[in-house]
Structure 1
Amino acid sequence: MKKITDIIRNIGAFRFIMLTVAGTVNAFGITLFLTPVKLYDSGISGTSMLLAQVTPASLSLSIFLILLNIPLFLYGMKKQGGSFTLSAIYTVAVYSLMSWLITDVLPIDVSIASPLAGTDLLLCALFGGVISGIGSGLAIRFGGAMDGIEVMAVIFAKRLGLSVGSFVMVYNVLLYIICGAVIHSWILPLYSIVTYGAALKTVDYIVDGLQREKAAMIITARPDDIKKQLMEEFGCGMTLIKAMGGYSGEERTVLYFVVNRFQVMKMKGIVQKIDPLAYITLTEVADIFSINQDRT
């Protein structure tokens, strides 16, 4: 009991508030846009929606969300830790409770709740995916999760020779195939792929941010001139790494430099003007953390 209390204290009130918001937002996206037109979410949420459709009315979406997700979170507790597990269970509980309130206690017709979407499958798929993606993204950003399949992916993907993303994608493809076979129609499962894509992109934006930086690795024989010009132009530091050409065997220097997307072309122009033979690679970076304010 003391351990659970310590975990709750470690999570903190603000994170619980944000996880509550995440579960609530996700519930609105699913129940107002997807469930009324029988579109499917991804992962365990989508599985729960399918099971709720083919089982007696007493077994609702909320029940399946709890029955399927919580065992998966508990199974992954050793690998993910108590704080994550409790945060995830709490988020799913909020998602389940809000889904029950919206669909059973305060039943809302989608045409009233969403006059823009109405019964238009494409709009429902897009709006439902974006809104549920906001909820899932907030859950991840504040230390929880909305779907137990992601936990299973972390545990089993490497054993199966897959990446976490590939594991989740394979699960969802199989889910949509099963949905099509069960309802004897491929229209709704195919529209559900649109939902999945919209949600996936929204989660990336929420977790990683809209403004992604570019990390440039510049391999050059004139590092001092390039370093001086770039630092004067952009007013920021960089890291120099000594290297050797694999073919020529000559000494080279790698400059590691982070810029935003609007500075990329100017950076390329400066480098090419000083050293036309310089080799530049660009990699997208989502988050940049600095332990202190000293520049490297």
Structure 2
Amino acid sequence: MELQNKRNIAKNIFLDILCFTLGGILYGISVSVFSEPNQIAPGGVTGISIILNSLIHTPVGTMALILNAPLIIWAIVELGYKLVVKTIFAIILTSISIDVIAMFIPPYQGDQMLVAIFAGVTEGAGLALIFIRGGTTGGTDTAARLLGRRFPHFSMGRLMMFIDLCVVVISAIVFKSVESAMYAVIVIFVATRLIDAVLYGTDIGTGKMLFIMSQKSQEISQAIISQMSRGVTILKSKGAYTGKEGDVLLCAVRKYEVYRLTQLIKEIDIDAFIIIGDAGQINGEGFKENGKEEKTLKDIIKNRKRKE
């Protein structure tokens, strides 16, 4: 059992590195080959870096890393450190990829619509690979998560849209081109739709709820708890046709965790029956406030003070 756990850990680390590396390369291509050479700033920290590049000629990847540094520090204080570790790794990889790819792959400056579409496709594919493994690239998504804790009446999607919109408007002013802003909107739209399609189809919701039926329900529930740090509820069931009694596992996860969870289930039982549905809102431990998402730096400090 211990050997199997070590193998699973090694496999997960390998997949994390592989997906983050491929995702970083694709994201770097999106920025260095398509967006930056054509003065398209598709929101977020990368968009701000592209704008600054046109003003003070700083490398886009390096500037993105610098701008993300305060967000990382803020995230360590406000969010769970488990999420931040992967985020730091992803930020470093994508930042390096942007600058390195700019040295070796020539920019494409042809038809602007093709530029916007392919920038969105490569960005979306790259980010999807990173999100699949539970990471983020900092920027808009991290800023939105942090702001969401201060302004809980705004959804994360709306906060992300607001931040991106501000960057796009600024880019139109700096580049003196309304068309540039319009193409940036196309990039954002294509990228977000592709991310949605890769991660969880075309469904839209704040979380996902899975019902899992398997002859190996105990093994699956233990794997979910130990490898994904998610809770599982065991429901007693009885087949209407067969009359056989069994267990149904109920598990709530974030959207980007669905792919990883289904893969984990299939590794244990290839014949497992899985129903995936939308969860419009999830409150409690591991999700929305009233049970903090993960152990944070604030929690650690508070706990130490109590012990003292």
Secondary structure of 1:156's aligned partner: helix
Displacement of 1:48 in angstroms is 1.0
Q: How far, CA to CA, are the matches of 2:190 and 2:201 in structure 1?
A: 16
Structure 2 counterpart of 1:185, one-letter code: S
Structure 2 counterpart of 1:152, one-letter code: A
- C-alpha change, 1:294 and 1:119, in structure 2 (3 Å) is closer
Displacement of 1:210 in angstroms is 6.6
Counterpart of 1:150 in structure 2 is 141
Q: How far, CA to CA, are the matches of 1:63 and 1:135 in structure 2?
A: 19
Matched, 1:125 2:116: yes
Displacement of 1:36 in angstroms is 1.7
Q: Deviations over 1:63-109 (max 9, x none)?
A: 11100113212311244322321211211211111211122x32513
Structure 1 counterpart of 2:128, one-letter code: G
Q: How far, CA to CA, are the matches of 2:112 and 2:28 in structure 1?
A: 18
Q: Report matched runs for 1:88-167 at 5 Å.
A: 88-103=87-102, 105-110=103-108, 118-160=109-151, 161-167=153-159
Cα contact 1:45–1:147 (8 A) shared by 2: no
Q: How far, CA to CA, are the matches of 2:274 and 2:43 in structure 1?
A: 43
- C-alpha change, 1:211 and 1:156, in structure 2 (3 Å) is closer
Q: Name whichever of 125-134 and 156-165 sits farther off.
A: 156-165
Structure 2 counterpart of 1:82, one-letter code: Y
Counterpart of 1:269 in structure 2 is none
Counterpart of 2:213 in structure 1 is none
Cα contact 1:76–1:155 (8 A) shared by 2: yes
TM-score, length of structure 2 as denominator length: 0.61
Q: How far, CA to CA, are the matches of 2:77 and 2:274 in structure 1?
A: 38
Q: Which runs of 5+ in 1 are unaligned?
A: 1-7, 111-117, 216-226, 240-285
Q: Deviations over 1:27-53 (max 9, x none)?
A: 012211112211122211111111111
Cα contact 1:40–1:46 (8 A) shared by 2: yes
Q: Name whichever of 161-170 and 89-98 sits farther off.
A: 89-98
Matched, 1:176 2:176: no
Displacement of 1:208 in angstroms is 1.5
Counterpart of 1:63 in structure 2 is 62
Aligned residues: 216
Counterpart of 1:53 in structure 2 is 54
Backbone CA RMSD of aligned residues: 3.5
Cα contact 2:39–2:175 (8 A) shared by 1: no
Cα contact 1:72–1:151 (8 A) shared by 2: yes
Counterpart of 1:12 in structure 2 is 13
Counterpart of 2:216 in structure 1 is none
Counterpart of 1:75 in structure 2 is 74
Question: What percentage of aligned pairs have identical amino acids?
Answer: 21
Displacement of 1:206 in angstroms is 2.0
Q: Name whichever of 92-101 and 126-135 sits farther off.
A: 92-101
TM-score, length of structure 1 as denominator length: 0.63
Counterpart of 1:251 in structure 2 is none
Q: How far, CA to CA, are the matches of 1:20 and 1:151 in structure 2?
A: 20
Structure 2 counterpart of 1:109, one-letter code: P
Q: How far, CA to CA, are the matches of 1:95 and 1:145 in structure 2?
A: 10
- C-alpha change, 1:83 and 1:30, in structure 2 (3 Å) is same
1:194 corresponds to which of 186, 189, 194:
186
Counterpart of 2:177 in structure 1 is 185
Structure 2 counterpart of 1:173, one-letter code: L
